[in-house]
Amino acid sequence: MIYNNLNIKMNTTYIEAGDNTYISQFMKELPANAILNKVAVGAGATTVALTSGHKTVLCVPFVSLILNKLEWCNRNNVSAIGVYADGAKGEDIFEFRGNVILVTWDSLHKVVEWINPSEWLIVIDECHKLIDSGAFRGEAILNVLDNFMKFKAYTFVTATPVPDEYQLPQLKEIQKYKIHWNNLTPVTINYIPLEKDLHKTVAVVALSHLQGKRIGNAHIFINSVKSIISIVKVLAKTGYDIKSNTRIICANQQRNIDLLAAKLPGYKREENTTTAKKINFYTSTSFEGSDLFDTEGVSYVVTDGSLDYTKINILTTLPQIAGRIRDSRFKNQLTLIYTPNVYYSYTTEEEFRKAVLKALEERKEVVEVFAKAGKITKQTLIKGSEEDIYLIEYKGELRLNETALYNEMFNFRTIHNTYYIVKDPTAQTHNHNGITYNYAPSTAPEFSGLNKLDLKEKPDFKTLCEEYIELRESPFSIGKDSIEMEYPVIKQAYEELGIEKMKALKFRRKDIEVELIKQNKFRSEDWKVVQILNYKVGQWLTVSELKEDLKKAYQTLGIQALPKGTDILKFYEIKKHNRKTNDGTTVTGYKIVSHKIKQYFNKQ
């Protein structure tokens, strides 16, 4: 180690960062045979690993991280190759003469087969994912655990330390290091709990960035391609140019490519190295390690409590996503939009722990049955366990996934913490003492008024009136034109009746329309009667209904004359049309054939 700014407290050695912002400013290499808690996201631990001069294998959880770091290596003249499913092959590894190999967990065994690991260092980046992914990537995790000790030295790196009680047994005794920064500042996490309408809520939030109602560009982290498709479909209904303003970043897997092609024709997956747009979606491949850039980037984390793959991966990576957009002026804050999940269903950590242990105990019986079963039964059990986080197939055997215990408990603990990133010391608001922020409740957009209008749903008329008045009374007018186009009666009421009169009428559409008819100085009484009657062509009415409707229309308009049955002929062409009731009685009535006076209002 080429640094001497150490102090030891209990079982952790602290490395003092002073007022520095990046690890490379005070460390030339990472501590060997250790777990390094870098604390700050984006502090540059991988930069130190890639430029140390040692033969180094950087082992990461996702292909996207390899592609992201390969681009960095190209920009900084670091010779490197990437080993993953579609990456470098065995011969490429054998012939490689550079110092850096980037590899996914799943492909680490390939690297071990083609190099002499005792001559190389290995850095397992984002090592908290070994716990975080424990419920779903058991085989890949075992691949790491089976091989890391074969290297000359190893370093596990994370900004999300795992509590000892939930750490993997193989890692518990490893020496721990933690960087102590002087310039940390908390991240504000605004949270929006929802019971329903998760996708519509996210769509409205994303649209508000496109419309300019919210500043910056929306960067939405949600670990589900299907959910992204659902949100984009909602956005597509709005009539805005969603396609050219949306970027979707997900794993380069055929099922994702096929899903986008089938459900969102014209939309294609992109890498996180492409230029940011107004609306950006990311699955878990970009939650950790990747360097994202957008000075106007605003982060949103979305989790659906009913889906395990969004629930687990999202909630344990809040500290990773905070500050993921390296140059954003909003990097000290993010918004969490979520629906209730199992973690919020338990009052205490101990209560939740008992529930997990009970689930594991129940799965032991399945494993015992598997051990004694024949080939067909084993295949059936493996197939049936594919969605069960407490069971795992490893090398053809069904095992109890004990990692799930650490995974679930770590998830529970993580969501109750406040997360930190390194604050840019050049920022005007920089404070060496830091400012403590807690989770802050935020209000979800309501689905009424203009929001419903944008989504092509029928809006609440009263809310639409109130929002229109607010837009007319302020310099911010986005959405005003949409209201005027779809509901011209609101504009007319605002300009002709005024705000106080609209309020007095309690924003009831029918009453507003009647009042506009009554106050119209440029139309005849006959025209006004037609507007009040509002009969449709083809409508059938009894003689008594015609007389009663005329009487009410005259009264509403203050016409003193007593209406006669023949008055209807001044307004409509009618045709006598009798009908029989169920009991065979004939009822005399008339059918509206056409209007003699044009109706005025655009009825919604």
Q: How far apart are CA 583 and CA 367, in angstroms?
A: 72
pLDDT over 90 at 138, yes or no:
no
Q: For 388-497, where are the alpha helices, taking DSSP H only?
A: 403-414, 450-454, 461-472, 480-486, 488-496
Q: What is the pLDDT of residue 169?
A: 85
| pLDDT top residue among 75 and 39 | 75
Q: What is the pLDDT of residue 227?
A: 93
Q: What percent of the chain has pLDDT over 90?
A: 47
pLDDT over 60 at 432, yes or no:
no
Q: What is the pLDDT of residue 317?
A: 62
Q: What is the pLDDT of residues 379-416, one digit of tens each?
A: 888 777 766 777 777 677 777 777 776 777 766 665 54
Angstrom distances, CA of residue 11 to CA of 131, 157, 166, 176: 21, 17, 16, 7
Q: What is the pLDDT of residues 247-287, one digit of tens each?
A: 999 988 888 999 999 999 999 999 988 999 999 999 988 88
Residue 499 amino acid letter: I
Most confident of the ranges 41-45, 157-161, 181-185, 209-213: 209-213
Q: What is the pLDDT of residue 345?
A: 54
Specify the long-range contacts of residues 67-74, CB closer than 8 Å, at least 24 apart.
Answer: 67/271, 67/273, 68/271, 68/272, 68/273, 68/289, 68/290, 68/291, 69/102, 69/289, 70/102, 71/273, 72/47, 72/291, 73/100
If you count DSSP H runs as helices and E runs as strands, how many of each does the chain have, helices first?
Answer: 22, 26
Tokens of 325: 């957009």
541 in helix, strand or coil?
Answer: strand
Q: What is the pLDDT of residue 244?
A: 96
Q: How far apart are CA 81 and CA 99, in angstroms?
A: 9
**Residue 136: CB atoms within 10 Å:** 19
**Residue 329: CB atoms within 10 Å:** 15
pLDDT over 60 at 139, yes or no:
yes
Q: What is the pLDDT of residue 365?
A: 84
Tokens of 324: 């993921």
Beta carbons of 273 and 70 less than 8 angstroms apart: no
pLDDT over 60 at 360, yes or no:
yes
Question: Which candidate, 421, 16, 419, 410, places its Cα nearest to that of 178?
Answer: 16
Q: What is the pLDDT of residues 464-506, one digit of tens each?
A: 999 999 999 887 778 899 999 999 999 999 999 999 999 999 9
Q: What is the pLDDT of residue 462?
A: 95
End-to-end CA distance of the chain: 73
Q: What is the pLDDT of residue 312?
A: 43
Q: How far apart are CA 40 and CA 420, in angstroms?
A: 6
* Residues of the chain by 3-state class (helix, strand, coil), percent to 5: 40, 20, 40
pLDDT over 90 at 331, yes or no:
no
Characterise 318 by phi-psi region: left (phi > 0), alpha (psi -120 to 50), beta (else): alpha
pTM of the model: 0.66
Beta carbons of 288 and 317 less than 8 angstroms apart: yes
Beta carbons of 341 and 306 less than 8 angstroms apart: yes
Most confident of the ranges 55-69, 307-321, 432-446: 55-69
Q: Which residues contact 97 (CB under 8 A, 6 or more apart)?
A: 79
Tell me the pLDDT band of 228, cut-offs 50, 70 and 90.
Answer: very high
Q: What is the pLDDT of residues 581-595, one digit of tens each?
A: 888 888 989 999 998
Q: What is the pLDDT of residue 225?
A: 93
Question: Which candidate, 270, 287, 267, 141, places its Cα nearest to that of 221?
Answer: 287
| pLDDT top residue among 307 and 217 | 217
pLDDT over 50 at 602, yes or no:
no
For residues 538-557, average pLDDT: 91
Q: What is the pLDDT of residue 411?
A: 66
Q: What is the pLDDT of residue 168?
A: 85
Tokens of 490: 């609101």
Q: What is the pLDDT of residue 604?
A: 40
Tell me the pLDDT band of 129, cut-offs 50, 70 and 90.
Answer: confident
Half-sphere exposure of 238 (CA within 13 A, CB side): 26
Q: What is the pLDDT of residue 269?
A: 93
Tokens of 47: 């930069």
| pLDDT top residue among 291 and 185 | 291
Q: What is the pLDDT of residue 447?
A: 84
Tokens of 372: 């004694």
Residue 270 amino acid letter: E
Is the torsion defined by CA of 492, 497, 503, 504 positive or negative? Answer: negative
- What φ, ψ does residue 591 adopt, rounded to 5°? -110, 135
Place of tokens 């004694």: 372
Q: What is the pLDDT of residue 427?
A: 37
135 in helix, strand or coil?
Answer: coil
Q: Please give the mean pLDDT across all residues of the chain.
A: 84
Beta carbons of 490 and 463 less than 8 angstroms apart: no
Q: What is the pLDDT of residues 335-359, one digit of tens each?
A: 989 886 655 555 577 877 788 788 8
Q: What is the pLDDT of residue 314?
A: 45
Angstrom distances, CA of residue 398 to CA of 99, 390, 401: 38, 10, 9
